[in-house]
Amino acid sequence: MSTVAALPFPYVFEPARSALVIIDMQRDFIEPGGFGETLGNDVGLLAAIVPACQRVLHAWRAAGALVVHTRESHAPDLSDCPPAKRLRGDPSLRIGDAGPMGRILVRGEPGNAIIDALAPAPGEIVIDKPGKGAFHATRLDAALRERGITHLVFMGVTTEVCVQTSMREANDRGYDCLLLEDCTESYFPRFKAATLEMMHAQGGIVGWTAPSVGVLTALTAVQVSGTEWMSSRA
Ligand code: TIU
């Protein structure tokens, strides 16, 4: 068992039963010309968390524990994009329109890729999700249960949209969730702060939050044998 100093109290996890879930670290949200910018956001803020995310990803991989990446994305024919999502608001380009990095939020387009610094490695799970939450209309829950995963450590963007939605979905499904404070970001700093606070309020009503250093320290002592989460792979 590993223990991390966290709010509202220490987070205890077994790396062999835990997954690192990296939410939507895609060019569409982090680089100019993508979905985030079409919504009117300053995407500059988000790139600042990449080094901290990289440190955790490398440590998690070195420990041999499971990594999950998600991408917010839609099929090229937009059959999985509800009109309510495509038509909402007044973006400069809508989902499916051609932008400087290809069609906005469409699977396989350059802008939809995970940024190079956090690119998935062979054997890691990649989930394409049409919604904000990682569990809605995806195989994520089944993939985690097949591998005996009970604890999820979250990183990614944006804190109050896809990260918060995914962590709430996970909490309702019975996972113990930790959000790494320096590995998540919002276009709105006050929304990030409010989200962290509301996650761990009321005795951890949604889960825990902590700086990543505790997880890095805990992982230095860990080597998952490779027979645990991998053993139930199809
Ligand atoms: N707009 C915004 O803050 N986020 C999203 O649309 N998606 C994710 O958070 N990934």
Residue 162 is among the residues annotated as catalytic for this protein: yes
Distance in angstroms (rounded) separating the CA atoms of residues 2 and 229? 17
Q: What is the pLDDT of residues 9-51, one digit of tens each?
A: 999 999 999 999 999 999 999 999 999 999 999 999 999 999 9
- Ligand 1: residues within 6 Å at CB? 24, 29, 39, 72, 132, 157-158, 161-162, 187
* Mean pLDDT, rounded, of the chain: 95
Specify the pLDDT at position 234. 38
Q: What is the pLDDT of residues 10-21, one digit of tens each?
A: 999 999 999 999
Tokens for 209, please give them.
């939050």
At CA 41, angle to CA 36 and CA 166, rounded to 5?
50
Distance in angstroms (rounded) separating the CA atoms of residues 15 and 159? 23
* pTM confidence score: 0.95
CA dihedral 26, 27, 28, 34 (to 10 degrees): 170
Q: What is the pLDDT of residues 96-108, one digit of tens each?
A: 999 999 999 999 9
Point out the ligand 1 atom lying closest to the alpha carbon of residue 165: 9
Specify the pLDDT at position 223. 83
